[in-house]
Amino acid sequence: MKVLVTGGSGFLGKALCRALLAQGDDVTSLQRHHSVELEHFGVRQVLGALDDADRVRQALHGVDAVIHNAAMASGWGAWEDYYRTNVTGTNCLLQACRASNIRRFVYTSTPSVVHAGRTPVAGGNERDTPYGTRFSAHYPHTKMLAERAVLAANDPALATVALRPRLIWGPGDTQLLPRLVERAKAGHLRFIGDGNNRMDCTYIDNVVDAHLLALARIEPGATCAGKAYFISNGEPWPIRDIVNGLLAAADAPLVEKTLPFPVAYAIGVVCEGIWRIGRLGGEPPMTRFLAEQLSTEHWYDCSQAQRDFGYTPAISMDEGLRRLRAALREG
């Protein structure tokens, strides 16, 4: 199969490209900047933005299926930038797929599309956990709009499915773990609340497996067509154990200190105001969305993904941490 992966140079994107190549697929990546690593893999690269119709058409030439993984996922930025990448870019890709008669479309979404502030989610499933209605950040809001567009596009000519992996981690991570380690070494990490709220997360290989399984199963009329699925390790851990497990794997200082939620939320409000008024670069150290996410129970029922396309997490949390530790030791 000839597959386009958007955002192939990122953490998940590279893992998807490697796995697709390993099973004999022909892979193209659409991303903004050239990747030497993807070049070594033998991945065809098309450089451009998701809302550049000409580049998107070029990337889709000769393609049979799409895994749309690219997104603006940072914790801070202008609404226009999030909307252009996450919503306009997704719609541009869907339209180009129709024009190119592509029939399979797998979208990498996020559980944040059902974010509801401080409302806990304990074992929520796709049927009983509705989309959020009041978002404190642009990322989950625009991802929700994009996911709805993807699922609405499902029809007899184009089969679409959305996957919602929760907190992806593992070897090759250039975002989550490096930030945790940097802040832990600087003594800046705190748990919001007591750190015992349980959360889902997902080892990178399990996320890749979910995408490949969905890609193999998705076609017009398939059971999974037009639906969204929660994806995780299926082992909700207290956030204290997740964070300290990752830090221990990296030989970084563990975290014990805590911060009450009202204080963290107030700090988020102040930081957002300073960053907005001062037009500061980078991301604020705390936001309202981050305070809500880190202090609230968030774990999901993934049984529907198992029933509809056979997803079962193969790598446990403990095994994933062992593999992460070994990979970091190897350098």
Separation CA 180–CA 242 (nearest Å): 11
pLDDT above 90: residue 278:
no
| Whole-number pLDDT of residue 136 | 86
| Domain CATH number, residue 107 | 3.40.50.720
- Let me know if residue 265 belongs to a domain: no
Q: By C-alpha distance, which of 312, 297, 81, 323 is closest to 192?
A: 297
For residue 249, what are the contacts with CB-CB under 8 A and spacing of at least 6? 321, 324, 325, 328
What percent of the chain is predicted at pLDDT more than 90? Answer: 85
pLDDT bin (cut points 50, 70, 90) of residue 322 is: very high
- Let me know if residue 272 belongs to a domain: no
| Whole-number pLDDT of residue 150 | 98
pLDDT bin (cut points 50, 70, 90) of residue 118 is: confident
What pLDDT, in 10s, does the model give residues 9-54?
999 999 999 999 999 999 999 999 999 999 999 999 999 999 999 9
State the average pLDDT over residues 291-303.
92
| Whole-number pLDDT of residue 263 | 94
Domain range for 318 is 2-253+282-330
- Let me know if residue 209 belongs to a domain: yes
Mean pLDDT across the chain, nearest whole number?
A: 95
User: Per-residue DSSP letters for 22-89?
Assistant: HTT-EEEEEESS--HHHHHHT-EEEES-TT-HHHHHHHHTT-SEEEE------S---HHHHIIIIIIH
- Let me know if residue 232 belongs to a domain: yes
What pLDDT, in 10s, does the model give residues 248-269?
999 999 999 999 999 998 999 9
- Let me know if residue 275 belongs to a domain: no
The pTM (predicted TM-score) of the whole model is 0.95
What pLDDT, in 10s, does the model give residues 132-171?
988 889 999 999 999 999 999 999 999 999 999 999 999 9
| Whole-number pLDDT of residue 131 | 95
| Whole-number pLDDT of residue 80 | 96
Residues acting as catalytic residues: 139
- Let me know if residue 261 belongs to a domain: no
Q: By C-alpha distance, which of 34, 42, 150 is closest to 97?
A: 150
pLDDT above 80: residue 331:
no
- Let me know if residue 277 belongs to a domain: no
| Whole-number pLDDT of residue 205 | 98
| Whole-number pLDDT of residue 77 | 86
Report how many domains make up the chain. 1
| Whole-number pLDDT of residue 24 | 97
| Whole-number pLDDT of residue 20 | 98
State the average pLDDT over residues 220-224.
96
Out of 108-112, 250-254, 285-289, 312-316, least confident range: 285-289
pLDDT above 90: residue 102:
yes
Q: Using a CB cutoff of 8 Å and minimum separation of 24, what contacts does 217-220 make?
A: 217/308, 217/309, 217/310, 218/65, 218/104, 218/105, 218/106, 218/159, 218/160, 218/161, 218/309, 219/103, 219/104, 219/159, 220/103, 220/155, 220/156, 220/157, 220/158, 220/159
| Whole-number pLDDT of residue 113 | 96
pLDDT bin (cut points 50, 70, 90) of residue 95 is: very high
pLDDT bin (cut points 50, 70, 90) of residue 318 is: very high
- Cβ neighbours of 272 (radius 10 Å): 18
- Let me know if residue 159 belongs to a domain: yes
| Whole-number pLDDT of residue 275 | 86
Separation CA 121–CA 299 (nearest Å): 6
